[in-house]
Structure 1
Amino acid sequence: MLSIFVSANLFGQWNFSISTSQEYNNNPFHYPDQTSSFISSLNLGIEHEIKSFGLGYYGNYSNFNNMTDRNFYWHQFGFWNATNNLMFGLYVEQRINQLEYEYFDYSNYNAYLKHKASADGFTFLTQAAFTLTSYDQLKDLNNWMGSIGTSINKSFESKTTIIGGVNFNYKNYYETNLDTTETMMMNSRRFSYTESN
């Protein structure tokens, strides 16, 4: 894979990045009849920071040389705030496919909150997140997920760090026709609990 990356800091608080990558894959979509393609990706990122607040826009266009009907555009807009102990943000993303594969089009909304605290040489991080994913046509895949977790770490002068934590995820396919028990069993391997209505 060949990659080219350019980044610039414009006017002190604006950041701009652009990159491209080229790759060859002998079956990128795992078709039964193998279909190979060169894949070209163009990535763009623009960020602006004002004190502890930031705004960003990120985009990616992927081109499949031998399967142009699979080309797609993905983009994301986000804002965040980060201080010494508190971080929060909101990201909105969207994937737009060619007409033949527009059923893969989706929108995703993600909000998160993180709080960091220190005491007696230990650092504690508590975090929570909520994600909503909505497909334009594949309504059975529409879902929301909540996540909450905490971690603790301790560093020593020997440059050793011990880190431990726990995280709980709850995912709900709110427009699916799947049986609740089936959905729970599929996700139990990931230590998640899923419920469908």
Structure 2
Amino acid sequence: MSIAHFDDTLKIIHELLPPESNLSEDFYQSKKLLEGLGMPYVKIDVCKNNCMLYYKDNKHKEKCDFCGTSHYEEGQKKIPRKVLRYLPLKDRLQRRANEENAELRRAKEMLQQKVDMHGQLITALFKEIGKELPAHILHILSHGAVSQPEGTNNSSQAGSQVVDGNNDVMESSEENDTTGNVGDQIVDAAANHGGN
């Protein structure tokens, strides 16, 4: 598609869109938008009849190997007859991976905030009833779902421990799959401890 053809297509699309639309007006604005998004593209010369790409070993060929059409327009300057614009896959995959990593970091921060909030509530509860926080609850708060060492199953370990009235940790018969149950477990432990 030539630049003129691209501009004409954009004009037709603009006639169908509402006046306040943000679609680029022409090829130049579209190109600037892509640059601003950090989406570089590679320009590759192509045979006018789409027979071959003038790429890598074929980059400096003057004629198409298949139809014999000249690579360049007639004249002094070497202006290619047709150009392909290619968006490299590697850059797009890196961008997507960075976005996914950012989402995971945000989710981990939110989970850590919830764990911290549970810890503050439990600490305040024990201060209010005038008792010292038991060591096993301190352990759960300091080694909660977010700060477990790598290679351990945080949710199943946290969910499978229940504290009985004697401050002993025992295995539960049912396994919980959500890290949110760490807070419930601590509240139960605090209630059992407070009742003694």
TM-score normalised to structure 1 length: 0.18
More helix as a share of residues: 2
Higher relative contact order (CA 8 A, sep 6+): 2
Task: State TM-score, norm by structure 2.
Answer: 0.18
